[in-house]
Structure 1
Amino acid sequence: MSSETYSPGGLPGSAPGTLHGRGVDEDHENQIVRFLSKVNKGIQEFLQDETVPLVLACVDYLLPIYKRVNSYPHLLEEGITGNPELSKPEELHTQAWAIVQPTFQQAEKEAIDRFREFSGNNQEQASDALKEVVQAAYNRRIDSLFVALNHQQWGSFDPQSNTVQLHEQHQAGDQDLLDLAAVYTVLNGGTVFAVEPERVPAQSPIAAVFRY
């Protein structure tokens, strides 16, 4: 078995920040498992109810060990192998995006299909009416939301009365209601697809699939 160096923040029984080799004994592997279990716990606390895909970046022999202790349901099978400390953040981002892009594309396609199905057969489950979408976003009803990039719709929303006012031009105290709907959707656990206008599956800069 080859010798490699990995620095996962320092493991008990090794030099600070260093883990030597694949040929570790059982006790040392148990130390790795305990360390990665703590990493998993931290990730769970950080992501909580998120559904974003998780990509591991580590030396290859740690991938299967981490998968044994992982409890985050959206960990992707493929990871970025090699010592991540030797890569620049933008390089890791490029490699991670190549892995997660198909997942996002598939999720977007499924959301488009649901919107089109509900728009034709069950209109209570989907809408491209901005007022209704803003209200639904605030009330935690939105599962998936499409918002057109580089579009604004000025207006106001009063959560207490659940009323939306649309304005043709920006007025004092106005908000971009497209952005507001996106923020409420994310805060309430929904998925937002910020896309080019032609990719919104409606004759509107916004389209939503409801949870109920």
Structure 2
Amino acid sequence: MSVLNHVDIVTNDILEELLAQHNSPCLSLFMPTVRMGPEVQQNPIRLKNLLKEAEEQLTAIGSAPAVQRELLAPIQALDDHVFWQQQSDGLAVFAAEKQVLSYRVPLALEELVVVGSRFYIKPLLPLLSHKQRFYVLALSINQVRLFQATQHSISEIPLANTATSLAEALQFDDPEKETQFHTSTGAPASTDARAASFHGHAADEDRKSDILRFFRQVTQGVNDVLGEENAPLVLVGVDYLHPLYRQANTYAHLVNEGVEGNPDGFGLDELHAQTWDIVKARLDAERAEVKARFKTLLASGSSQASANLKTVVPAAFYGRVDTLFVARGRQMWGEFDQQAGTVRLYDEATSDNADLLDLAAAQTILKDGAVYVVAPDEMPAETPIAAIFRY
């Protein structure tokens, strides 16, 4: 059974909004969500437990009851039946004075509450960094679907205002030709476009021309959704559709490798597994190359690499970081004075400080750098942060 999935695409514009100055305290809340079935009932229970934890953290930093009510009430108002029926794999909620932002994301986020002087965005880095996410375009004559994916998840993204079948494209593009076209509804899924036929002259060339026109509409729709994205896009479709789509394509980051087969017959797990294999090979090779470059630069004493937090954080703010590694699950609490360019470290979180790893990663992404979030034992240095500088 198909499951309706509601996804909000987290873009750099959203990141900029989250990083803008907000009156303290700022509350960031993350949780996994269930899309359907009886386990959906776990969603409001998780939210209530996290709101209780948020209340405890706010009390611990001395927030007045009135401030707590102002922050928590809009989040509590999200808790209704319709809201929980329109979820993806994870929910991120950000609340500050007179502002609440919520995002349904294709990531099974770990339960987490952070109260601080700014919003905490590290759990969303796999969606924000083009080195952590990718897109899948499932091509068939009967339906075209776009998916956003990470290593652990895949979710469909609507192609709004775009024809998603050849019949629909022909109807809008050339109504007379659409009446000549028919699809055998009884044909097996594996036949895909070969189930389509035209009555009349030069059928094969005519069909090829119409598919190409259809794909030009699709690639425009993909570009409208992805905007200025630079994450890889992987094609899935029967063999003869690949060269036709590549001829129509205008998205700059379409990868050369693709998956052959009719995606209409794939389950989500199979679609994800086959496309992730392609992306993983690319990411592993890139990451290994960058890690080796970092180690070489560091060993040579070059000023173009550093594993020193007090050096990397200012560099990220000033746009010097080309590539950043941060350790998953680690926090380094502190303050950064932008005017003085200095970093002050703290032993624990307070209402006035922030996780500097989170801060450095966000600034690197905003300034078009690459960010890798890796396990602590996969860091290229024995520190929770490492960077290669542009200059």
User: What TM-score comes out, normalization by structure 1 length?
Assistant: 0.83
Whether the 8 Å CA contact 1:133–1:208 is kept in 2: the answer is yes
The CA deviation string for residues 119-165 of structure 1, in whole angstroms up to 9 with x for no partner, is 13352211111122122222222221111112110112344554432
The 1:43/1:136 distance shift into structure 2, 3 A limit, reads farther
Cα separation, 2, equivalents of 1:43 and 1:161: 44
Amino acid in structure 2 at the alignment position of 1:54: L
**Aligned counterparts, 1:25-44, within 5 A:** 25-44=204-223
What RMSD over aligned residues (CA atoms) do the two structures have, in Å? 2.7
CA shift for structure 1 position 5: 5.4
CA shift for structure 1 position 46: 4.4
Cα separation, 2, equivalents of 1:118 and 1:49: 31
Whether the 8 Å CA contact 1:49–1:189 is kept in 2: the answer is no
Structure 1 runs of 4+ aligned residues shifted over 6 Å read none
1:61 paired residue among 240, 245, 250: 240
Task: After superposing the two structures, state which structure 1 stretch, 121-130 or 98-107, moved more.
Answer: 121-130
Cα separation, 2, equivalents of 1:58 and 1:6: 12
**Aligned counterparts, 1:185-200, within 5 A:** 185-200=364-379
Cα separation, 1, equivalents of 2:339 and 2:214: 47
Amino acid in structure 1 at the alignment position of 2:211: I
Cα separation, 2, equivalents of 1:48 and 1:164: 35
CA shift for structure 1 position 106: 0.6
Kindly indicate whether residue 143 of structure 2 is the aligned counterpart of residue 7 of structure 1: yes
**Aligned counterparts, 1:46-125, within 5 A:** 46-121=225-300, 123-125=302-304
SS of the aligned residue for 1:56 comes to strand
Whether the 8 Å CA contact 1:6–1:83 is kept in 2: the answer is no
Amino acid in structure 2 at the alignment position of 1:211: R
The 1:47/1:133 distance shift into structure 2, 3 A limit, reads farther
CA shift for structure 1 position 28: 3.0
Cα separation, 2, equivalents of 1:20 and 1:116: 50
Flag structure 1 segments of 5+ consecutive residues without an equivalent: none
2:381 paired residue among 202, 205, 209: 202
Which residue does 1:154 correspond to in 2? Answer: 333
Cα separation, 1, equivalents of 2:305 and 2:224: 32
The 1:121/1:53 distance shift into structure 2, 3 A limit, reads same
SS of the aligned residue for 2:348 comes to coil
The CA deviation string for residues 30-73 of structure 1, in whole angstroms up to 9 with x for no partner, is 22222222333343454455442221122332111111222334
Cα separation, 2, equivalents of 1:76 and 1:130: 35
Amino acid in structure 1 at the alignment position of 2:142: Y
The CA deviation string for residues 83-130 of structure 1, in whole angstroms up to 9 with x for no partner, is 323333333222111111110011001111211122133522111111
Amino acid in structure 2 at the alignment position of 1:7: Q
Kindly indicate whether residue 353 of structure 2 is the aligned counterpart of residue 171 of structure 1: no
Cα separation, 2, equivalents of 1:175 and 1:78: 41
Flag structure 2 segments of 5+ consecutive residues without an equivalent: 1-139, 145-163, 171-177, 186-191, 198-202
Cα separation, 1, equivalents of 2:317 and 2:224: 24
The CA deviation string for residues 172-201 of structure 1, in whole angstroms up to 9 with x for no partner, is 132211122122222222221111212211
Amino acid in structure 2 at the alignment position of 1:111: V
Whether the 8 Å CA contact 1:129–1:206 is kept in 2: the answer is yes
